[in-house]
A and B are shown apart, each in its own frame.
Chain A
Amino acid sequence: MSTNLVVLAILMFLVTYPTRAVGLLTPGLDRLPKIAFAYLQLVGPAVLAALAAVSVMVVVGDDDVPSFHVGIEWVAVFVALVIVARRKNLFLGLIAAVAIVAIARAAGLAEIPA
């Protein structure tokens, strides 16, 4: 990585670190009202589900325009979800998801998202 890119990385760090630190380091957050704690308890499932949904349903093309994507990834992620819920085994769910996508793409049944 060139020196210029190290500087860019440091600038990226300077805008990233505060987002990670503000909740952990800001004094007084311990005295939030109960409803705020109840809200924060719900952030985890909401953000993780949002990450998963956007990852498989939204594709950003070369023109930077997001578009709705329907593909084998939906099936793979759903199968992973079912396996995790029923078998309590995340690793098995991940293996199944990767296998579904790899087999479908190798067989020409699915394309790689842009």
Chain B
Amino acid sequence: MSIIVFGGASQFAAVGYVASGLAWPGIVLLTALLNARHLLYSAALRPWLREVPLPRRAVMAHLLTDEAFALSISHFRRIGRTDERGYWIGAIVATFIPWNLATLGGVLLGAQIPDPGRLGIDVIFPAAMIGLAVGLITGRRELVAAIVGAGVAVAVALVSSPSIGIVSGGIIGPLVALLIPARLAGETTPLVSLGTAEPPAAVGPPS
């Protein structure tokens, strides 16, 4: 499943659903819902990857996870241009291979870890996401998009489900941010430039 689906949240959910005896159509529907946010990712990456040949883009799509998106869009914006090799490294070396090796390790050795929750590993995902989000904040619009996106996501998640909340935050946050007039947007350099001391050259996709 880690190779075929390659979607962490939906895999975790599917395991729970299978164990609880939920019918397959329900599992498939919930998977679609959980992974709906990838629509936003692929649309956001399109301007950067439009010069990549179609067959390679088709493979890239299968590898497009939260982590691959975050790593690649941060990287593209930091260097101000598309870097196809950077995408492959982020998607395969940093995500696909470790995810599948860790899945295998979990299957073989997981039972010997008495209480994984005690190790605090569960906090890595939100900490990584917020750290990568900080790297994308280059002005007031990005800041507003992040804050509103987070707020909307939590509010909607509490009355529906986390996946609907995340998609809602991802849609509404940028809409609200666009209400900020361009003259007040205050585009600056990113708050951080992860992994390099070089100043960021540009923040938009190549035209």
Binding site for B on A (CB under 8 A): 1, 5-6, 8-17, 19-25, 29-30, 35, 37-58, 60, 66-68, 73, 76-77, 80-81, 84-85, 88-90, 93-94, 97-102, 105-106, 112-113
Contact = CB atoms under 8 A, between A and B. Distances in A.
Given A8-B27, A25-B57, A58-B157, A48 B70 contact: yes
A52 B125 CA distance: 7
B120 A45 contact: no
Nearest to B148: A46
Interface residues of B, number: 100
B131 A44 contact: no
Contact of A23 (B46, B70, B135, B204): B46
A47 B149 contact: yes
B4 A10 contact: yes
Contacts, number: 303
A105 B45 CA distance: 39
A45 B45 contact: no
Secondary structure type dominating chain B contacts: helix
Given A15-B31, A21-B61, A22-B42, A46 B4 contact: no
B150 interface: yes
Contacts of B162: 54, 58, 60, 66
Contact of A44 (B54, B73, B122): B73
Given A99-B120, A102-B118, A24 B57 contact: yes
B118 A105 contact: yes
A47 B117 contact: no
A16 B38 contact: yes
Given A47-B170, A85-B191, 13 more contacts: A10-B4, A19-B39, A23-B43, A37-B204, A43-B174, A46-B148, A46-B173, A49-B150, A49-B169, A54-B166, A76-B123, A84-B192, A88-B193
A17 B54 CA distance: 15
Classify the interface of chain A: helix, strand, loop or mixed: helix
A57 to B, nearest CB: 5
A25 B60 CA distance: 10
A79 to B, nearest CB: 8
Contacts of B4: 6, 9-10, 12-13
Contacts of A113: 122
Nearest to B54: A25
Contacts of A67: 158
B43 A29 contact: yes
13 contacts: A9-B4, A10-B4, A20-B38, A20-B42, A23-B41, A23-B46, A39-B174, A46-B145, A49-B146, A52-B133, A77-B126, A77-B127, A90-B194
Contacts of B118: 102, 105-106, 112
A47 B40 contact: yes
